[in-house]
Amino acid sequence: MDSGDIKAVHFSRKTDTELFPVDRFGPEKAKQARAFHQSFPEYRETPLAELNALAKELGVASIHVKDESLRFGLNAFKVLGGSYTIGNYIAKKLGVSITELPYEKLVSPEVKEKLGRITFVTATDGNHGRGIAWTANRLGQNSVVYMPKGSSEERLHNIQALGADASVTELNYDDAVRLAKEGQDKNGWVLVQDTAWEGYEEIPGWIMEGYTTMAAEATEQLKGERPTHIFLQAGVGAMSGAVCGYFASLYGDEERPVITIVEPDQADCIFRTARANDGKLHFVTGDMNSIMAGLCCGEPCTIGWNVLRDHADYFISMPDYVAAEGMRILGNPLPGDPRVISGESGAAGLGFVAEVLRNPGRKALKEALGLNQDSRILCFSTEGDTDRENYRRIVWDGLWPSFEN
Ligand SMILES: Cc1ncc(COP(=O)(O)O)c(C=O)c1O
């Protein structure tokens, strides 16, 4: 399906085949991740913004947006995955269960003494690396963080300020991941990467489990209201895979909401993999020039894709202005609605919803998605203004750097 410059692929719900199991991302397992996060002194549930005036304006029953800008003071959801993974890694090393390793034990001198000095290494567009640097810093451990070419200075400085040895490389995201892996292979560092590939699935699996905390919180905050539609933005597809898996497990595949995955058209590896639907992963290579920096990843996460292939309905490839529309709408609410400061990657889902509902040229897409006056929409604003200069350029001036509007 092609709706102008937005492209969509639809997967029919599978009923006759065995689906990729999602129990590990379901509500029971999510309790364990959430209990771990709750043990941190910074833990607070992030708000679920109820945008009633916007829902009315756009002609749907409700719109909720989970505001992850308030997560642990780090302006993005990613620390949920990084911290839970480092916790699990240490639990395994010490031969104990993660349930026996809450924050206060994790930072205790006995644990530190048993572990000695560890260096965690990763590649990041910003948010994941900040979560790893923050966790390593708390535990008195080291971190090395590689960022792709063109990464924002503010995002780099935020990571360096947490004591990480962080640098911007000349590589794209996926090659920066390979550089981080070399750090593991050559120096004995521990690679904590937020994407999986064949042979590297234990750590990213924990990262995905960590992300389920935000889905579990949102479910509780919805107080029994069941969303009919969930919109999730994807880089490698680990976050969307985890959250999609959570809801598929919670409601079951027959009853679950319509799940739509959105990506920038410059880095639409999940969309391309869905479009080809040939049992192989499809990559985007070279520079990926999108304002949605956190989504500029060219190689899908294997576990994430397996979940999305079997439990998601729509895959969308879209231009930057759609995310920019989301940022402006969330930052300038209608009277009565709360304000959500949402960064370029954070606003992608709501931006897509607004574009489909506001633009009469998207009628066919709106109907295909089944969006109407009874729709109850849930989006995740996964970051705040993590690059403030760029945020203002987009929201104030309606411009963004280096690539065309
Ligand atoms: C703010 C934000 N939202 C969404 C994502 C997408 O997550 P994933 O790469 O797991 O698809 C990222 C990834 O870095 C991100 O930083």
Instruction: Answer yes or no: are the C-beta atoms of 145 and 133 closer than 8 Å.
Output: yes
Instruction: Say whether pLDDT at 188 is over 80.
Output: yes
Of the two residues 75 and 3, the one the predictor is more confident about is 75
Separation of CA 118 and ligand 1 centre (Å):
26
Q: Which atom of ligand 1 is nearest to the CA of 293?
A: 16
Measuring from atom 15 of ligand 1, which residue has the nearest CA? 294
Instruction: Answer yes or no: are the C-beta atoms of 140 and 116 closer than 8 Å.
Output: no
Counting ligand 1 atoms within 8 A of each CB, the residue from 203, 302, 345 with the most, and so the one to mutate, is 345
Structure tokens at 278: 């040939």
Measuring from atom 8 of ligand 1, which residue has the nearest CA? 235
Q: How far apart are the first and last CA of the chain?
A: 24
Separation of CA 134 and ligand 1 centre (Å):
17
Counting ligand 1 atoms within 8 A of each CB, the residue from 382, 383, 390 with the most, and so the one to mutate, is 382
Which of 86, 80, 92, 91 lies closest to 35 in space, CA to CA? 80
Separation of CA 145 and ligand 1 centre (Å):
16
Separation of CA 348 and ligand 1 centre (Å):
11
Q: Which atom of ligand 1 is nearest to the CA of 270?
A: 11
Instruction: Say whether pLDDT at 141 is over 90.
Output: yes
Q: In 127-189, which residue ranges form alpha helices assigned H by DSSP?
A: 127-138, 153-160, 173-187
Structure tokens at 275: 């479009």
Separation of CA 130 and ligand 1 centre (Å):
13
Residue 122 confidence (pLDDT):
98
Separation of CA 284 and ligand 1 centre (Å):
16
From residue 138, give the alpha-carbon distance in Å to each of 46, 131, 132, 143. 21, 11, 10, 11
Q: Confidence band (pLDDT; 50, 70, 90) for 400?
A: confident
Instruction: Say whether pLDDT at 10 is over 90.
Output: yes
pLDDT (tens digit per residue) in 224-266: 999 999 999 999 999 999 999 999 999 999 999 999 999 999 9
Instruction: Say whether pLDDT at 14 is over 90.
Output: no
Ligand 1 lining (C-beta closer than 6 Å) = 76, 78, 125, 127-128, 194, 233-240, 294-295, 297, 345-346, 382-383
Q: Which helix (H) or strand (E) holds 147?
A: strand 142-147
The mean per-residue pLDDT over the stretch 43-51 comes to 98
Q: Which helix (H) or strand (E) holds 39?
A: none
Q: Confidence band (pLDDT; 50, 70, 90) for 4?
A: low
Q: Which residues pair with 263 in a beta bridge?
A: 317
Residue 116 confidence (pLDDT):
95
Measuring from atom 12 of ligand 1, which residue has the nearest CA? 294
Which of 380, 361, 396, 381 lies closest to 6 in space, CA to CA? 361
pLDDT (tens digit per residue) in 272-298: 999 999 999 999 999 899 999 999 999
Counting ligand 1 atoms within 8 A of each CB, the residue from 80, 233, 260 with the most, and so the one to mutate, is 233
Q: Confidence band (pLDDT; 50, 70, 90) for 17?
A: confident
Structure tokens at 121: 């290494």
Q: What is the dihedral of CA 332, 233, 224, 10, to 10 degrees?
A: 120
Instruction: Say whether pLDDT at 401 is over 80.
Output: no
Q: Which residues pair with 378 in a beta bridge?
A: 64, 230
Instruction: Answer yes or no: are the C-beta atoms of 379 and 357 closer than 8 Å.
Output: no
Its pTM stands at 0.97
Separation of CA 114 and ligand 1 centre (Å):
33
Measuring from atom 9 of ligand 1, which residue has the nearest CA? 235
Domains of the chain, start order? 2-77+204-395 (3.40.50.1100), 79-198 (3.40.50.1100)
pLDDT (tens digit per residue) in 152-185: 999 999 999 999 999 999 999 999 999 999 999 9
Q: Confidence band (pLDDT; 50, 70, 90) for 15?
A: confident
Residue 403 confidence (pLDDT):
57
Which of 102, 60, 47 lies closest to 258 in space, CA to CA? 60
**Cα–Cα distance between 162 and 289 in angstroms, integer?**
28
Contacts of 164 by beta carbon, 8 Å cutoff, 6+ apart: 129, 132, 133, 136, 137, 142, 143, 144, 145
Counting ligand 1 atoms within 8 A of each CB, the residue from 75, 78, 159 with the most, and so the one to mutate, is 78
Instruction: Answer yes or no: are the C-beta atoms of 4 and 228 closer than 8 Å.
Output: no
DSSP characters over 232-301: EE-SSSHHHHHHHHHHHHHH-TTTSPEEEEEEETTS-HHHHHHHH-SSS-----S----S-GGG---S--
Residue 405 confidence (pLDDT):
43
The mean per-residue pLDDT over the stretch 77-102 comes to 98
**Cα–Cα distance between 124 and 174 in angstroms, integer?**
9
From residue 63, give the alpha-carbon distance in Å to each of 130, 286, 327, 379, 385. 29, 36, 15, 8, 21
Q: Which atom of ligand 1 is nearest to the CA of 234?
A: 11
Measuring from atom 16 of ligand 1, which residue has the nearest CA? 294
Catalytic residues: 78, 125
